[in-house]
Amino acid sequence: MNVVHELTSLLESKRQEITDWMNAKRLEVPLPIYGSVDIRDSGWKIGVVDANHFPAGFNNVAEEDKPLLASLLKNHITREYNECYWVHLYPESHTRNQGYIENLSTLQELLILAGFKCTVGSPALAEIGSLAGLSKPLKLNEVEERMVDEVDTLFVDGEQPDLILLNNDLTTGIVGGLGNQIVSPPASMGWHRRRKSQHYEVLQAYIDEISELIGIEPWHLMPDWFVSKDKCLDKEACRIELSAEVDAFLDKIQSKYDEIGIEREPVVFIKNDRGTYGLGIMAVKSGSELLKLSNRKMNKLMYSKGGADVENFLIQEGIPTSLNTESGAPVEPVVYLIDGQAASWFYRVNPSKSDIDNLNSPSARFESFSESGGLFGAHAHGWHALVAELSMLAMGKELLAYGHEPTVSPK
């Protein structure tokens, strides 16, 4: 069933109206400097299933996309921070993750291509001179914290950079040294504070509005979801309550499937309401599965990066992917955005998983749009771009909730 794909001509007929609407909405919020989203496309539903405000994975973007990415970075930084010359990249401490290190090298390359001086490092990495990436070593600069006017401040090679670009999701809390700095994305958007459910709440309003403009039911452009709060899953009473909630949610999805003729069993994903890296995620087809969890699986569901407690869970409708390689491996698009604009696509391919599984596992590989020969890209500049850019608007509106003022200059 390809309900959404069959409406692509309708989408294109509304292109100018959508562009005008998007331009107006972008003036209302502080656009994120960057972000990435995972998209699921079942044919009957296309939706963002994960949105990252501190994206890793820039090493997977296509070489031919780099000039556009650099141009958008330059536009954003010069508009928002017009005196900026020096950007310092503040990373995670994944010293053993060569893919992540390659991501940092690519971000540095893009910033230099955009015309900025770019340094890399953090106090946590102060004793390390370089990191071994996939293609070459990444030089780290000397970074230390000093007190300036009684505020802990970051110095790089003895001086203060103009802008700190965070590539650290702050799951365990705000790092030191950011008090006297211009920081983007703001530290308030870290996972120590932000929740996935907050993003979907804001995104839903944008989906509703754009769906009315296009003339499509909003259900086709976003996974259903709800939040189950205060679930101490090490206690049976909490698991029984969550099980009942999951069953009621599955019944709701099944009713919709029956209404429009989708002949498959619904699945829901149980996710930590904060955090990234595919941690704290489980797919279930019935609430009873939660009552049968082994201690190992329960601990895996409750595990969060940095050991942070997991008590609130985002329960999200599973969207099977209709995109496959020629050999039948399931595929999901990953869109990278700069200054709110979809600028680069690549595809997560995982031959060891099914069309409904979480594909973000060590067995996944990545193919750029050019490497795939456009095999999965028929809708890349249509529905996929639309929901991705709506997700960036939602991130911007989340920022407003933390007191961040939007720019007033034209986009």
Position 88 pLDDT exceeds 90: yes
Helices (H) and strands (E) in the chain, counts: 9, 17
Task: Choose between 265 and 405: higher pLDDT.
Answer: 265
Residue extents of the structural domains in the chain: 5-56+193-401, 58-189
Query: Which pLDDT score, from 0 to 100, does residue 386 have?
Result: 96
Query: Which pLDDT score, from 0 to 100, does residue 206 have?
Result: 98
The model's pLDDT over 310-327, given as tens digits with 9 standing for 90+, comes to 678 899 999 999 998 888
CA 132 to chain centre: 25
CA 110 to chain centre: 19
Task: Choose between 405 and 213: higher pLDDT.
Answer: 213
The model's pLDDT over 349-383, given as tens digits with 9 standing for 90+, comes to 999 999 999 998 889 999 876 655 555 555 456 89
Stated pTM of the model: 0.92
The model's pLDDT over 18-55, given as tens digits with 9 standing for 90+, comes to 999 999 999 999 999 999 999 999 999 999 999 999 99
Going by their DSSP bridges, the two strands 163-167 and 86-91 should be labelled as: parallel
Using the structure block, give the residue that is written with the tokens 């990234």. Answer: 276
SS3 145: strand
Task: Choose between 93 and 66: higher pLDDT.
Answer: 66
Query: Which pLDDT score, from 0 to 100, does residue 176 have?
Result: 77
Summary mean pLDDT of the chain: 88
Query: Which pLDDT score, from 0 to 100, does residue 408 have?
Result: 40
Lowest mean pLDDT among 44-48, 101-105, 275-279: 275-279
Per-residue confidence band for 409, with pLDDT thresholds at 50, 70 and 90: very low
Q: Which fold has domain 58-189?
A: Rossmann fold (3.40.50)
Q: What is the mean pLDDT of residues 301-312?
A: 60
**Ordered DSSP codes for 46-113:** EEEEEEESS---GGGS-GGGHHHHHHHHHHHHHHHSTT--EEEEEE---TT-HHHHHHHHHHHHHHHH
